[in-house]
Amino acid sequence: AAPVRYEAESATISQGATESNHTGFSGTGFVNYTNVVGSYVEFTVNAPAAGPAALALGFANGTSGNRPLNISVNGVSAADLDFQPTGAWTTWSAMNTTVTLKAGSNTIRASAGTAEGGPNLDYIDVTASDGQAGTEY
Ligand code: GCU
């Protein structure tokens, strides 16, 4: 299937704020995680078929330290990712991982792993399996 973009500012946000003061983001803004462990952004993602999905997370980290996020899918931890410094809050990058989705509606939650909170999160791009023979994603 083709990638589908889900903007962080349109997702469910727990302990974070939609902001637009650092330019270069996609959509109308990004999420600034509150600087606490467990602040999160949760996306509701539709998959045409069960299977692996490529996940790209657009982010910026203007600090000098990593900002880890735990990725959970449908309530189950799927990955721990270290979002490295991008050099400036206006410099955006993408982190890639793979998750397994079920057919239909899924939740993908990205939760801050440290008291610094997450990186600024712009979007996720999801390339889900379409269930076609010979097509992995
Ligand atoms: C700064 C920056 C925010 C960022 C925050 C942080 O305040 O302007 O966009 O989220 O640092 O360290 O998390």
CATH of the domain at 60: 2.60.120.260
Residue 28, domain extent = 8-119
Does residue 93 fall inside a structural domain? yes
ipTM exceeding 0.90, yes/no: yes
Interval 7-26 mean pLDDT? 98
Please choose from 19, 67, 89 the residue to mutate so as to test ligand 1's pocket, defined by most ligand atoms within 8 A of CB.
89
Nearest alpha carbon to residue 124 among 65, 81, 89: 81
Does residue 89 fall inside a structural domain? yes
Please choose from 19, 21, 32, 34 the residue to mutate so as to test ligand 1's pocket, defined by most ligand atoms within 8 A of CB.
32
Q: What is the total count of domains within the chain?
A: 1
Burial 33-68 (b: 16+ CB within 10 A, else e): bbeeeebbbebebebebebebbbbbbbbbeeeebbb
pLDDT digits (tens, 9 = 90+) for 68-127: 999 999 999 999 999 999 999 999 999 999 999 999 999 999 999 999 999 999 999 999
Does residue 129 fall inside a structural domain? no
Does residue 41 fall inside a structural domain? yes
Does residue 110 fall inside a structural domain? yes
pLDDT digits (tens, 9 = 90+) for 55-69: 999 999 999 999 999
| In the predicted structure, residue 135 carries a pLDDT above the cut 60 | no
Does residue 127 fall inside a structural domain? no
Does residue 39 fall inside a structural domain? yes
Where does ligand 1 bind, in terms of residues with CB under 6 Å? Answer: 22, 32, 35, 63, 89, 117, 120
